[in-house]
Structure 1
Amino acid sequence: MRDRRRPTCKGQLHGTLQLKSAGPAGAAPLSDANRAMAILLSNRRDHVHAMEKGFYRAFEDRHRGPREVVRQRLECYVPFLQAWRAEPGTHALADLGCGRGEWLELAQELGFAAQGADLDTDMLAACRERDLTVHETDALAWLAGLPAQSQAIVSAFHLVEHIEFDALRQLAADAMRALAPGGLLILETPNPDNLVVASRDFYRDPTHRKPIPSDLLAFVAEHAGFARVKIMPLHERADLREREQVGLQEVIDGASPDYAVIAQKGGDADFLAGFDAAFAMKSGLTTEALALRYDAQWHQSKREIHQAIQGLGEQLRTQHAQMEARLAQAQQAHALAVAELQAIRQSSSWRLTAPLRWSVEQARALREQGLRQRMRRAAVRFGRPAAARLSALLHAHPVLRERSAAWAVRLGLHEPLRALYHRIQHQARMHRHGQAVAQGGQHMTPRAGRLYARLSQAMDSLRKDDR
């Protein structure tokens, strides 16, 4: 929970107004409205007292914050106090729910006759230790009893969110009556424009009633008759005020957690002009302003990403054009090389040097493979075609085949030559079959095509085995 001043006194926690009045001598009696409200709600006083003495006092001690922090937060009102001090007149200041007296102490240092009202005896003891003037009484009743036009400033810090709306309107009317011409009403309260305050932090205090939108509180002051009203958002993070880059989390919880309505009673024009600078001060952050920053940076990021994509696309197009140019150059160089190679092969010198190149190639192969391997390869290369032609000849002339078989038997070569003959005949049949399948495979179905491919692979394997 954020650092707070003492929100209110006991009687104000639930909108109760007590009949006891401890104002200065000659104070006016309570109005009929205040008296009726006090009678109506007085039955709840015992419950309020019991809760404050136990739970709420411990709760407040944990979440209030150090005195120095509270005092620092109040410095934003100093320009208004200084503007009043610059003019002659009353310097009386009345603080409703004065708590530990940080605001009374600051006002007293600036020359004001500051006094406050509260019902918490522990808080009032802290004020009296610092020689501050305080009254142990209900603050709203005390305000109603102040003499007319007797006060320069009436203030209430984190009080209005604890009281009923009718009591708030009565507070504004009583302040209007008690203030001197040109006097100031200062009301500070949690800011529901901050999404986290409105949805969570406000309800952490069990004595809070409802968040009060700033324009509603300002209208209450205007309707009470105040001449000019300023809404001043407060206590936002200092680093967010000028920073352009904000995240989504800062949009959610970065708006000013508190705000003040500062209302000035009408008076002499020259006197009021002395407050123009204070009323013109800019402060605070709204959720709308943070959302606009977030949208602006999102659109800027979107533009930058779009530009980066465009730049990358341009680079890719440039690289593609360069690759196309290189490919064209390579194709041109390849065409030139092919043309030159064809020219060389068609030249007379190429034909004349063919035997020399063959001799060099054979010598190289002989060195790499050895004499026996080269002879074997030569026999296979030249002997197999010759054997195939001889086999075809014998197959075509049966008489010659029978005589050749007889000579082979005599020479003991019948079985090897017979095996060679049958192998050559088998290869010829497989070759003829493959050609027939290849010619008929142009109009095959997909399944027949797959079978043909498997058959071709099998034939290739047989050819390799025969070799």
Structure 2
Amino acid sequence: MSRRDEGDDHESLMYFDFFNHFRSPPETVKQHQSPFLKYYEGCENVLSIGCGRGEFLEELGQRGIGAYGIDIDDEMVDYGNKRGLKVYKADALEHLRGLDDNSLGGVFTDDFVEHLDTAYLIKLIRLCARKLEKGRYMVNVTVNPLSWAAYSGIYLLDPTHKRPIHPKSMQFYMSSAGFSNVDIELITFRDGGGRLKKVEIKPNMDADAKRIADTFNHNVDLLNEAVFGPENYAAIGKK
């Protein structure tokens, strides 16, 4: 799921087993990724970087969209190939450098960019902008560090993560690389459980009690947004 120079970490961790233990089941991952399929309709040669088990590749293939994936984990690559997917073992930068400019019909990443050093990430985004055909999209899905629960859970859980990326930083990296109108889409998986509860405002409350309850509920909203905000975000840019 990440850079080649992290290969030793992956091997010592038995990353494929670790990933399967903590990652959502494939069908759940597909549900989370399905809203991004629309950016690749009618495309060919879509690249999924750090493709993992290949859920997004399967979804693209079912819609007749030509796609392939790369990953640096041997077991991820083998798993994808056994499922009939086009998956190759490759470092992302090395692979992109070997492609013709304007040759990709799209680029997708999920749970990938947080594995990278900043310098590597910036080079990656710039290369993707060069390799994409005009009018095509790059979508990066990653953990939202503005959600304390997501940061302490999703992010800190995986020891191969390098650093979280603020959504505004990602937006800047993509815009400066040449992507236009980069949108940040917040992604929430929770069903509302675990959030702080508000005080019920009752019709028979007097003015002072209602004012205190309103203030309390406002503060609960602020805390819920900071602590239990959307777990992930997607940065969506068009060349």
Q: Report the TM-score range of the alignment, normalised by the length of the smaller protein.
A: 0.7 to 0.9
- CA spacing shift, 1:49–1:9, aligned 2, 3 Å: same
Counterpart CA distance in 2 for 1:251 and 1:221 is 26
Amino acid aligned to 1:71: K
- Partner residue, 2:211: none
User: Which has a greater percent of helix?
Assistant: 1
Shift of 1:219: 0.5
- Partner residue, 1:148: 101
Higher-RCO chain (CA-CA 8 Å, sequence separation at least 6):
2
> Aligned runs of 1:362-401 on 2, under 5 Å?
none
Shift of 1:161: 1.1
> Aligned runs of 1:440-451 on 2, under 5 Å?
none
* Cα pair 1:10 1:52 within 8 Å, conserved: no
SS of 2:135's partner is strand
* Cα pair 2:40 2:46 within 8 Å, conserved: no
What do residues 259-287 of structure 1 show as CA deviations (whole Å, max 9, x unaligned)?
1101001xxxxxxxxxxxxxxxxxxxxxx
- Partner residue, 1:78: 37
* Cα pair 1:92 1:151 within 8 Å, conserved: yes
5+ long unaligned stretches in structure 2: 199-216
Counterpart CA distance in 2 for 1:239 and 1:205 is 24
SS of 1:151's partner is coil
Paired residue for 1:65, among 2, 15, 24? Answer: 24
Instruction: Decide which structure has the larger Cα Rg and report it.
Output: 1
SS of 2:146's partner is coil
Paired residue for 1:178, among 111, 127, 131? Answer: 131
Paired residue for 1:110, among 42, 60, 63? Answer: 63
Amino acid aligned to 2:229: A
Shift of 1:145: 1.6
- Partner residue, 1:263: 237
Shift of 1:56: 4.7
5+ long unaligned stretches in structure 1: 1-7, 17-47, 266-467
* Cα pair 2:102 2:134 within 8 Å, conserved: yes
- 1:254 equivalent in alignment to 2:225: no
- CA spacing shift, 1:193–1:9, aligned 2, 3 Å: closer
What do residues 83-103 of structure 1 show as CA deviations (whole Å, max 9, x unaligned)?
xx2xxxx52101111111101
Paired residue for 2:7, among 24, 30, 49? Answer: 49
- Partner residue, 1:277: none
Counterpart CA distance in 2 for 1:191 and 1:9 is 18
* Cα pair 2:147 2:231 within 8 Å, conserved: yes
Counterpart CA distance in 1 for 2:192 and 2:129 is 37
- Partner residue, 2:214: none
Amino acid aligned to 1:254: F
Q: Tell me the TM-score normalised to structure 2 length.
A: 0.81
- 1:138 equivalent in alignment to 2:97: no
Paired residue for 1:216, among 137, 158, 169? Answer: 169
* Cα pair 2:114 2:165 within 8 Å, conserved: yes
SS of 2:33's partner is helix
Identical amino acids, percent of aligned pairs: 28
Amino acid aligned to 2:67: A
Q: 185-194 or 73-82: which moved more?
A: 73-82
Supply the RMSD in Å over aligned alpha carbons.
2.2
Shift of 1:238: 4.5
Amino acid aligned to 1:202: Y
- 1:232 equivalent in alignment to 2:175: no
- CA spacing shift, 1:53–1:105, aligned 2, 3 Å: same
User: Which has a greater percent of strand?
Assistant: 2
- CA spacing shift, 1:98–1:201, aligned 2, 3 Å: closer
Counterpart CA distance in 2 for 1:75 and 1:144 is 29
Shift of 1:157: 1.3
Counterpart CA distance in 2 for 1:222 and 1:113 is 26
Shift of 1:252: 4.4
Counterpart CA distance in 2 for 1:131 and 1:200 is 33
Counterpart CA distance in 1 for 2:155 and 2:237 is 24
- Partner residue, 2:158: 205
What is the total number of aligned residue pairs between the two structures? 214
Amino acid aligned to 1:52: H
* Cα pair 1:10 1:120 within 8 Å, conserved: no
Shift of 1:173: 0.8
Q: Tell me the TM-score normalised to structure 1 length.
A: 0.43
Counterpart CA distance in 1 for 2:94 and 2:185 is 27
* Cα pair 1:81 1:110 within 8 Å, conserved: no
